[in-house]
Copies of this chain bind each other. A is one copy, B any other.
Amino acid sequence: MRELEEKILAEGRAVSEDILKVDSFINHQVEPALMKRMGEAFAAHFEGRGITKVVTIESSGITPALMTALALDVPMIIFKKQPSKILNDDLYQTVVTSYTKETSYELTLSKKYISENDHVLIIDDFLANGEAATGVLRLLRKAHATVAGFGVLIEKSFQPGRAKLEEQGIDVYALARIGKMSAGHIEFLPEK
C-alpha cells in the first residue's frame, strides 16, 4: 500500500537493522482515517472468503483489526495476554515467547467466541518472527476453527514470520514489506 510506505518513510524511525518505530501513526498515536483505509485494504483483499470473525492480539493489533472487521461487517475478537495461566475450563490458552521483547505470556481466548463454525481472518500490526501469529494459530486449532488468512500492516521480510505461516498454508498479506533496514534507512519489497 503506497500510502503506508510513504508514511513509514516520512514518520517511521528505523533505529537499527531490526527495530522500526511507528509510534506516531500506529502504536502510540493512531491516525483513525488512515487506519480505516488500511482496514478497508485488508477487507478488499480477503473479501468473498466467507470470513466470520476477525481476530487480533492486544494491544497494537486492535486498531487495524477493528477497522477490518467494520469493513467486513463481522465481529472482532481480541486475544488477551495474561501474565500466567488461568485455571478455567472456559478458556483456551497457549504460551507465547517473544524473542524480540524477551518476554512470555499466556495468550487467552474464551471458548464462547470462536467455534468450529468460524472461518477466521487474523490481523496484526507487525509480522517479524511470527511467534504471536503461531500462538493464535494454536488457539484456533484448539477451537477447531479454520483460517482465512493473515493480514499485517508491516512485514519485516528479512525475518522468518512469513515463511512460518506459509508453511502452514496460510495466505499472508502485508500492506508494507520491509526488505532491508538500518539506522535511518528503509527499503521496501513489492507486494506479494
* A residues whose Cβ falls under 8 Å from a Cβ of B: 23-24, 27-33, 35-36, 58-59, 62-63, 66-67, 69-70, 73-78, 80, 110, 112-113
Contact = CB atoms under 8 A, between A and B. Distances in A.
Given A59-B59, A62-B59, A62-B63, A69 B32 contact: yes
A63 B67 CA distance: 10
A29 B31 CA distance: 23
A120 to B, nearest CB: 12
Given A28-B77, A30-B77, A32-B70, 13 more contacts: A23-B110, A23-B113, A24-B112, A24-B113, A28-B80, A28-B110, A28-B113, A31-B75, A32-B66, A32-B73, A58-B59, A63-B66, A63-B76
Contact of A58 (B24, B32, B58, B74): B58
